Structures are given as structure tokens and as C-alpha cells.
Amino acid sequence: MRRARNHIRSSTGKAIAWRRSAGASVSLLAAWWSGTALAAEPTTTLGQVTVTATRTAQPAYDVPASIDVVSGSAYNGDTLGANLSEGLSAIPGVLARNRQNYAQDEQISVRGFGARSQFGVRGVRLYVDDIPATQPDGQGQVSHFNLGSAERVEVLRGPFSTLYGNSSGGVISLYTADGSDPPQLSVSASGGSYGVYRTNLDARGTAGPFDYNTDYSHFSTDGYRPHSRAQRDSFNGKLNLQAGRAGKLTLVLNYFSSPESQDPLGLTRTQFDANPRQTASVADQFNTRKSVEQIQGGLIYDYTISERQSVRVLGYYGARQVRQFLSIPVSVQSNPANSGGVVNLDSGYGGADARWTWHAPLAGRPLSVVAGLSYDELSQHRRGYANFTGDGSQPDELGQQGVLKRDETNDVYDLDEYLQASWLFAEQWSLLLGVRHSMVQFDSADHFQSNGDDSGNKGYYATTPVGGLLFKLKPWVHLYASYGDGFETPTLNELAYKPDGGLGLNFSLKPSHSNNGELGAKFQLREHTQAQLALFQAVTRDEIVVGPTSNGRNTYVNAPRTRRQGVEASLDTELMPLLKLQLAYTYVDAVVRADYCQDGTTTCLQTPGSTTRVSTGNRIPGVALSDAYAALHWGADSGWHTSLNAQYASTVPANDINTSHAPSYALLGVDGGYTFDLPHWRINTFVRIDNLLDTNYIGSIIVNDSNKRFFEPGSGRAVLAGLSFNWKY
């Protein structure tokens, strides 16, 4: 009892702050609501947005979950259209950061999940046309997301993300648009500051029983900082065939190439304060860089058995090659256990998903049931080489692929069964229930045994239930509550190195398990106005966190208990004809709830003043306590248009012990242009300026970097101009 009282006292201050933030958000929405909605109950609403993230198509307004949709036009208007983060700013709960480092991909977190990722996307499930862009081990990337062909991007947050299994702090799904009728051809080009240049060619249309959408884009940049040049080429194609009255066959093909993206590495706080445009000296010394090539294809067959039943079968396969040069010192690589400073990964991956959907009344009320089976596999040939030739004593010997230091094959697969049901059991009530059982198996075969046999295997298992209840209080307000369990296995990269420097995979690393709850309200207050409010909490056991550096590599350990709780609020309204306002705010109190040692031992807990002790109450690194977005848009579909946007992010801790932080920042941006709408042509011109006030700020965090180079600077003032032609023939 005494321990419980002490825990309550220790958390009182933060609980009060959390309630005040939530209360303030509720009060703001209520005050605005009282001046609009209470005047009269509206009978017209913003156009219904249908989502499929819960596997049955239904209006987002009727789903007991936090889910938003970004139109593909958000990436094909007055913007570069090369980064997924460009369209996610107005979604609360999502922190999407352009690292200004294309060797590491974008940094995306949802309600604080995924913030620790030092490359790629971690803790958030990714899909393109229902094909996983997250591997079965939980590691994902958005580099191959072809935004020029996108019809929409769905973002699912909260408990129902667990319907997708491993690594489900959130779900982001891109869907390619179908072919158009009449056919159309689009060509666009844009360029601006820091050598940024992008071209895009898109063709879509119909031909008899077929419809198609093909898109090719090229992107290049010199980078904001020296040694950050990058080039990317992307192709995405989708072909639909209507196979009789009841069947539909969809073929998707995606290709991505990044022949060389230079890595400027992070900066220490002292380096950033002195000159945010500088590059770490070791980046030039070792010529740190990364090359990627990926190709994948998928086939989807939808068949309607009857009015009540349908089936869907999906299969896909892909190959990905990665070669990356790191800045690990020559002296560190002398250790036989060190795997070198060059990572070479050849990966083959594939999988299948089969589901059956049934619609029928239960007690006279509509019921939908979905049952499915999912399988994904990844076979990764991992080789490590020295990042120098000779003895590495000469400058021209560095940054070159040297002797073999590691050679192994890592296989991982998952086999998941899922079942979910949606029932409108009363006029104003609906219930959504689901459960998923996941098995994730890791196997490693060591082919480089001069330093010992590092082979091994490990399996992880979890059953994750979820449920949500929605109440239609009024036509203009829906209330909901949901709860679910989630889990996250280590990735192959997180298993690759042991904290004690030993050989083999770190199979002592446990999977993390989370209990997620959410209360929310969705408002459609009048025509062209919608708002959302959500309160959430997630308690995680054995969270996977960055541990000590071993032989120049990051290792990972488990934190016994963490907690994320907060509030999300958003508003999207038309203030007057042609004038639209968007607001989004997120508060995330992400903290450690039990002491642990960064090195994975318990020694520091018995050592007063230990520098490796992470204390209860410390903030989880990489997570901003508050972030906000506001945008004001003016203009119609044709003619003049302009917009002004503002972003704010509070201070962000960079390491677990909270001794270093990225300062808060606020940014302004503006864009404008003119659209010509002709009988067969649509021509759009634009100019935009980001970071209008040329603010120095830290755009992303490399959590727990062993060299204290935690900080990746955001871009200074950047001007971009573009021109697009759309021909309907």
C-alpha cells in the first residue's frame, strides 16, 4: 500500500499537467462548438471519406478509432512531392521528420512509437496497396512510396493498429489511384534551393476491361549540408482487370533506385550551435554513403461469391539490395568480433494474405465478419566488410570496401491468423472487435566461423485482442472508446549485436508488449467543418530501447516499463468561401515508469550516481511533449491560390538519461500560384518558401548516438518553384 501511495504522489504533477492539457483542448473545441454547432443541428456534412484500414470499407466518421486520410493531391500540388512527411503535418499524433539525410530515410513516429528509429521506420506498420512495406521483423521504409500515383494515404493510430500484428504503434497505408476515364497524362517539374530537382510523369486511363496507372519520378538534391547529395528514381504501376461480373484482378509493380545517398551524419550540440550547416569530419574521412535498389511485384484477386460473401487473395515478392559505408574507426575493427564498417545486405522477401468477408444481419442488425491468414518472409544475406583497404593508415585507403568480417544468412517469417467483426447492434451504437495471433520466427546461419559459430534461432508469439465501441450521440458528434493489446519483436538489426560484445545474435532481447486505450469524439459540425479529439494512453512492458555501443555498433536492451499518454485535437473548416483553416495539436507525455540500466545489467541500480541509470520519470527520447500545426488556404480549383502555414515543436530529449535536448522551434511557410483550367489541359504553377524566417533548428534526433552526434539540422530558408501539365484526352 505504501508503495502504491508513493507511486501516486510521484506521478501527480504529470497527471495534473496531462489533465490540464486535455482540458484545455476540450475547452477550445467546446468554445468553438458553442458558437457554431449549437446554433442548429446541421443536416449536411463534409464529404464522407471512406477508409479500408479496418479491412471493411466504411466512413472514417463511423469507425471507433483515430484515422485520417490524406488525399493524393496533397503531394501533387504546391509541394515537392518527394517525401511522405510533406502531407502528414496536419494529422495529430504523427511526427514526420525529413532528416535532410536521404541515406537514412524519413523519421516517422505515431504517439511516440517509432521515435527511437535511427534509420528507416520502426514501430509503425507501412503498406503500399496492402503490400507490406514493413518486413516481418518490424523494420520498414517509405523510400519507395511513389507519391505521384497516390490516390490517398490512410493513417491509423491507437489500439486498432494492433490488428496488423508486429510493430503496430500505428499504420500508414498508401493506395495507388485507379485508372481514369477519360485517360490523362501528367508531366511536372520543380526545383529550388540546395540543388533540389524533381520531375514526374504519370499516365492513367482505361482500355476495355482494363484500367491502369503508371508513374515515374526522378529526384535529386545537393543537400542542405555538405556531403548530403542524393538521387532517387521511382516507378509504380497498377493494372486492374475486371474478370467477369464477380472478379477483379490487380497487378502492381514497384521499382526504386538510389545509386548513392551521402550521409553527413549528425552533429553534437556544440557543432550545431557553431554552424548547423557543417558536416561531421568523419563523414568525409570515410565517405559515408548508402546505395539501395528494390523491385517488387504483387497480385491481388477479389471475388464476390454472393451478396453476403467475398474473398480476397494477395501475393507479393520483392528483392532489395543495400550497401552502406559507416564511419567506424579502423582501430575498433581490429576486434575479431567486429563486423566491419561496410554493411552489405541482399534481401529477398515475399508473402501472402487471404481473407474471407461475410455480411449478414444478427438480431436484425447489420453484421460484418472478416477472417484471414497472413504469411510474410524475409531472407537476408548479411555481409560485413572493413571500410578500408591496406592497413587504413592512408586517407585514400578509407571509405573503401576491404576484407570480409561477417557473413551470415538471416531468415525471419511470420504466420498470423486474424478475426474481426463489426456489428451495428442498435440504431446509435456499433461495436468493432478483433483478435490476431502472431508467430514470428528468426533463424540465423553463420558462414564466417573463423571467429566462432554465431548461428541461432528464436521464436516470438503473441495474441492481441482489440475492441471498440461507437455511440452516435447526434448526427454531428460521434463518441467512441477502444482498447487493445499490441506487441513488437526486435528487428534483425536490433538483434545483430550483443551489449557485452559477444558473438552471435542478441536473442536475450525480449519483445515488447503494450496495453493501449483511447477515448475520442468526432465532430461534423456543419458543412465543410470537421473536428476530432482523442485522449490516449499506452503502457509498454519490456520496451526495446537503444543500449550501449559495442565494437562501434549500437546494441539494444529492454526497458521494464514505459508509458505514453496524451491528447490529440484537430480542426478542418471553411471560414468563408475559398478560405480554409486547418489546425492540429498533439500532447504526448512519454516517460519511463521503472528504473533500468542502459547496458542491460542491474549494476547501476546498486550504484548511487551511476551515469548509465535511466530513472523513473525520464522522458522517452525523440518524442516532443507538444507539437502544433496551423495552415490557412485561400483559392479555388482554378485561378489564384495561396496558403500560409506554421509549425511548432517543443524541446525533445536526445538520450535516455535526458542530459541533452533539441530546443523548441517554430517555422513559417508560404506558397502560392495560379492554375489554368482549359478544355483539355490543366496547368498549375507555384512558388513556395519553407522556413520563411530562416530559423536554425534541429529537424530530427539520432537517439542515444554513442558519439553524442544526436542532432540532424533542418533546412534553412528554401525556395521551390514548380510547373505541371495535365492533359485529358
Q: How far apart are CA 91 and CA 65, in angstroms?
A: 14
In a domain, 425, yes or no: yes
**Residue 499: pLDDT band by 50, 70, 90 thresholds?**
confident
- Omega before residue 182 within 30° of 0, cis: yes
Q: How confident is the model at residue 55 (pLDDT cuts 50, 70, 90)?
A: confident
Reading the block at residue 682, the C-alpha cell is 490543366
Task: Show the cell assigned to 437.
Answer: 495471433
In a domain, 67, yes or no: yes
Q: Residue 51 domain-assigned?
A: no
Residues 236/245, Cβ–Cβ less than 8 Å: no
Q: Is residue 564 part of a domain?
A: yes
Report the pLDDT averaged over residues 276-280: 94
pLDDT > 70? residue 302:
yes
CATH number at residue 251: 2.40.170.20
Evaluate whether residue 445 is within a structural domain: yes
Domain extent for 434: 2-25+61-167+180-728
Domain assignment of residue 52, yes or no:
no
In a domain, 56, yes or no: no
pLDDT of 631-649, one tens digit each? 999 999 899 999 999 999 9
User: What's the number of domains the chain is made of?
Assistant: 1
pLDDT reported for residue 387: 95
For position 518, what pLDDT does the model report?
97
Look at residue 449 in the predicted model and tell me its pLDDT.
65
pLDDT of 402 above 90: yes
> According to the model, what pLDDT value does residue 24 have?
40
Residue 581 in domain: yes
Task: Name the residue type at position 444.
Answer: S
Residue type, 628: A
* Separation CA 720–CA 670 (nearest Å): 11
The pLDDT tens digits for 210-244 are 999 999 999 999 999 999 999 999 999 999 999 88
Q: pLDDT band at residue 16, thresholds of 50, 70 and 90?
A: very low
Segment 97-108 mean pLDDT = 88
| β strands within 52-209, DSSP E | 58-59, 66-71, 94-97, 107-110, 121-122, 125-128, 131-132, 139-140, 150-157, 170-176, 184-192, 196-207
pLDDT of 119: 79
Higher pLDDT, 448 or 370: 370
Q: Beta-carbon neighbour count of residue 639 at 10 Å?
A: 11
Please name the residue that has the C-alpha cell 492513367: 204
| Spatial separation of the C-alpha atoms in residues 554 and 544, rounded to whole Å | 13
Q: Is the pLDDT score of 22 beyond 60?
A: no
Three-state SS for 164? helix
